[in-house]
A and B are shown apart, each in its own frame.
Chain A
Amino acid sequence: MAYIRKRNKRIFLIFLLPAMLVLFLTTIYPMLYAGYLSFRSYDLAKLFVPRVFVGWSNYGEILGSSEFLHALVTTFKLMAMTLSVQLVLGVGIALIVTQKLPGMPLARTLLMIPMMISPVIVGLVWLFLYFPELGYLNYFLSFLGFDSIPWITSTDWALWAIAIADIWQWTPFVMMGTAAALQSLSPEPYEAAMIDGNSRWDVFTRVTLPQLKPVLVSLMFLRAIDAFKIYDIIFVLTKGGPGDSTEVLSMFIYRQSFTFWRMGVGAAASFVSLVIIVVLITLFFKSLNRDQVS
């Protein structure tokens, strides 16, 4: 037994090796290298200038810059807009598609499609819809007698345009998680409530929602972590514009690194964003543990 166990230990290392190699090359090494860069002055335009150690000055620069703070605020704004709508819509749709009605299994499947599309494609699809003169949305609005809306060309609308595309893509995720949780609830308490005569609203707010809470909290944390990294849709739709109205953290990092070629500053900004995500993830696991304890 001992022999087999020892041998198995070595075998499992061999099986793990390819995955660990990929993880190291694509995640751990770049992360360490970014950490290294964030303390250096590194201009991609001046390839042969030595990368001098500059201490915390890159961090000092971004934390003191209004652009970075603006990007951070925009990120949280977008997060609040998308998460709140996704929560309400996701739960609402989940309640409908879990009813025992004809066509619901098909509806469930169809509703999942947006989630499976690459975000770049989602961005392109919505670009067609939002297009100022030729877009379908404005065509329908004019058809109905409304003024056209400058979806992605006005600072008032651009963030909403991105939020709508993100909501369209990720509401199914919330719906799926909620529907799975709904279907795992025991039906008997609902029959008891039916006999006792509790109103539908009471049953929803006092029986269903409290039981869904742990799942909803998890779903919202997962969405928050994702929303923090949103990039593709914005890149395709607005590239952070008009002005800086849709410049979220990831766009800020991209611009610093690959437009201004200031790799050190970009790396420092991505480390700050990493810290925020780690805090979110820690809170997420804490909330999971709390649910398990209670």
Chain B
Amino acid sequence: MSAITLKNVIKKYGAVQVVHGVDLDIDEGEFVVLLGPSGCGKTTTLRMVAGLEDVSGGELSIGGQVVNNVAPKDRGVAMVFQNYALYPHMTVKKNMEFALRPLKLDKAEVDKRINDTAAILGLGELLERRPVQLSGGQRQRVAMGRAMVRTPDVFLFDEPLSNLDAKLRTQVRWEIGKLHQRLGTTVLYVTHDQVEAMTLADKVVIMRDGYVEQVGTPEEVYTAPQSTFVATFIGSPSMNMIEAKVVAERLEANGFSMPLPDRFQGKVTEGQAVTIGVRPIEIKRVAASSTGAMQANVEVTEYLGNEALLDLRVGPHELVAEVPADQRVEPGKVIHIALNEGAIHLFDTVSGRTLSE
């Protein structure tokens, strides 16, 4: 049993509270990613699960057992650290052996586990090397190997890819995904990189300022963001946000107007301040004569190969549109655009929460 449950888990340093009552259920075998900007409390939450930080309040259980006061070593977890945390004076093999020492296995079993793990991770030829003789990607694999040999119930990853270059990051990310499919162990993974979260996670937990903003599958957090924070944090380039008012069944903003889509009928009140969210890819170029067409000045064009990003100005609003590369326009030109009404999101401006439900 290796399900993890957090019930109103709190972390305080003196008078400063950094994690405000996190509730989270992680099923056995699930790959859960804690995602958020720096200082959002995601690493602190992970370290509480590991037992490296005390839990200031609430209840933390692993495998059905409350572990608030259980020593890290008795929680059945293994952790992969951001800076790998390898023992610098030990060879790769010794690093793994040292992790196995507390288990008091016989020599044959130790060798078997190390060799099996080395085979899975492709570390066979590196076993006699020391960390300083390895590249960043290799060190990361050794760190994972050291966690794997213990066959833990839960893997904890603390930003494991942030010290790798972009190319290697993609490769190791892919390896971690494969490894999870193969081992089926519960994983709790911390990152600030949405691509890692979207590609690896069964479930994404988006955190901000010590609060959980939204929990959901990668698809849910992308297609149905519950708040403006999630909406702008997930997706690249970010979702466009336009502050508007509901006036006579229309969304009116300075220099901008569109009918209120039917699905929001009854969910907004006349005069309510709302924020329209629209992803760059849902802004289309249209003919000047088509209904709902808005005039936009092209300020910057960014060519990305397959597509292009247009920085547009509509009245006082700045919008980014993602268009096929062949539809790109020179800066300074005037074009006409329309928002895909079926794909817009509506948020309450005051609370920042979605109005889509």
Contact = CB atoms under 8 A, between A and B. Distances in A.
Is chain B found bound to chain A in the same assembly? yes
B50 interface: yes
Contacts of A202: 98, 101-102
Interface string A191-203: 1111111110010
A211 B52 contact: no
A114 to B, nearest CB: 32
A192 B101 contact: no
B72 interface: yes
B78 interface: yes
Nearest to B149: A196
Given A188-B83, A192-B146, A198 B89 contact: no
Contacts of A188: 81-85
Given A194-B73, A196-B150, A211 B85 contact: no
B77 interface: yes
B340 to A, nearest CB: 47
Interface residues of B, number: 26
Contacts of B85: 186, 188-189, 191-192
Contact of A211 (B88, B101, B150): B88
A206 interface: yes
B79 interface: yes
B334 interface: no
Contacts of A210: 89-90
A2 to B, nearest CB: 41
B99 interface: yes
Given A195-B51, A196-B150, A189 B101 contact: no
Contacts of B312: none
Contact of B83 (A186, A196, A198, A211): A186
Nearest to A210: B89
A194 B72 CA distance: 7
A191 B52 contact: yes
A283 interface: no
A202 B98 CA distance: 9
A137 to B, nearest CB: 43
A62 B71 CA distance: 65
B344 to A, nearest CB: 46
Contacts of B50: 191, 195
B150 to A, nearest CB: 7
A158 to B, nearest CB: 42
B87 interface: yes
A104 interface: no
Contacts of B84: 188
B86 interface: yes
A191 B99 CA distance: 12
A199 B71 CA distance: 12
Interface of B: 50-52, 71-74, 77-79, 81-90, 98-99, 101-102, 146, 150
Interface of A: 186, 188-189, 191-199, 202, 206-207, 210-211
20 contacts: A186-B85, A188-B81, A189-B85, A189-B87, A191-B50, A191-B79, A192-B85, A194-B51, A195-B52, A195-B77, A195-B78, A196-B98, A196-B99, A196-B102, A197-B102, A202-B101, A202-B102, A206-B98, A207-B98, A211-B89
Nearest first, the 3 A-B pairs at minimum CB distance are A197-B73, A188-B85, A197-B102
Given A195-B79, A196-B73, A206-B98, 6 more contacts: A195-B52, A195-B72, A195-B77, A196-B98, A202-B101, A211-B89
